[in-house]
Amino acid sequence: MNQIAKEDVLAASEGLKAIAHEIRLTVLCHLLQGPMTVSELLKATETEQTNLSKHLSKMRMLGVVETEKQGNFVQYRIANPDWGEVINALKKIYCPD
Amino acid sequence: MNQIAKEDVLAASEGLKAIAHEIRLTVLCHLLQGPMTVSELLKATETEQTNLSKHLSKMRMLGVVETEKQGNFVQYRIANPDWGEVINALKKIYCPD
DNA sequence: TGACAATATGATCATATTACCATAAAGTAA
DNA sequence: TTACTTTATGGTAATATGATCATATTGTCA
């Protein structure tokens, strides 16, 4: 708080909760490459439809992703491209070269 | 996983859990300025000693921070400076200029 | 219209997280 | 040694999270 306001820390911690899960982090990584439909994310995450749907819902409610309905499909995209920088920093920490 | 191995995604999501909490994120932000003792963090976070201690313990077990005992005090420090980049990215997303 | 495909939601159960209390452990100093 | 300070740990209760089942919603197409 020296540097960041209390309310911003709270908001950021909520945002972190939105991606602090194996499936949701996987979704985020994929969406960084571009928007994807639920069906595509389903293949990518190898989980149950209903389970993925809940994770996507959580990410949407916490403002990390946005959706756009396209006919029968729903396309998900990252709400703020700066999440890419978060992922890049995580890669430095967790992905050995 | 296109880009990140499954095991790395898992590790990163665990690391994210270590900071996806208001108190723990506050601790991380403070430690970015340099090592601090528990007592100092206690003042900074304005929480109960026993509560903070558990949060610190979690961060340590998940490898985000390290400790060094100095007499009666315990000094905490960030294990990997790259967490600074994570915070900077979060600032872009959550801290309006 | 009916059948089907894509996605979301409600209910439920198991598990995890968190805050708080009491207490323990470890170091210091008289 | 005793008293005190600093930090950690065990127990517990409230709440949150996650997986799974069944079902609903919405849109497409024949």
Q: Could you read off the pLDDT of A31-53 as tens digits, one per residue?
A: 999 999 999 999 999 999 999 99
In tens, the pLDDT along B12-63 reads 999 999 999 999 999 999 999 999 999 999 999 999 999 999 999 999 999 9
pTM of the full structure: 0.95
**Cβ proximity of A41 and A30 under 8 Å:** yes
**In this structure, are residues A32 and A79 in contact, taking their beta carbons and an 8 Å threshold?**
no
- Rounded CA-CA distance A62/A66 in Å is 10
- Confidence class of residue A3 from pLDDT cuts 50, 70 and 90? confident
Domains of chain B: 6-94 (1.10.10.10)
**Banded model confidence at residue B96, pLDDT cuts 50, 70, 90:** confident
CB pairs under 8 A between A and B: 118
Distance CA(A86)–CA(B8), nearest Å, equals 15
Are B14 and B62 in contact by the 8 Å Cβ rule? The answer is yes
Instruction: Name the pLDDT band for B2 (thresholds 50, 70, 90).
Output: low
Is the shortest CB-to-strand distance from B58 to strand C under 7 Å?
A: yes
Would you tell me how many other CB atoms lie within 10 Å of the CB of residue B3? 13
Give B81's contacts (C-beta < 8 A, 6+ positions apart). none
Q: How far, in Å, CA of B77 to CA of A81, rounded? A: 30
Selecting from A1, A30, A91 the residue whose C-beta is nearest the C-beta of B26 gives A1
Tell whether A92 lies on the interface with B, counting CB pairs under 8 A.
yes
Express each pLDDT in B66-91 by its tens digit: 999 999 999 999 999 999 999 999 99
Q: Does B43 touch chain A (CB under 8 A)?
A: no
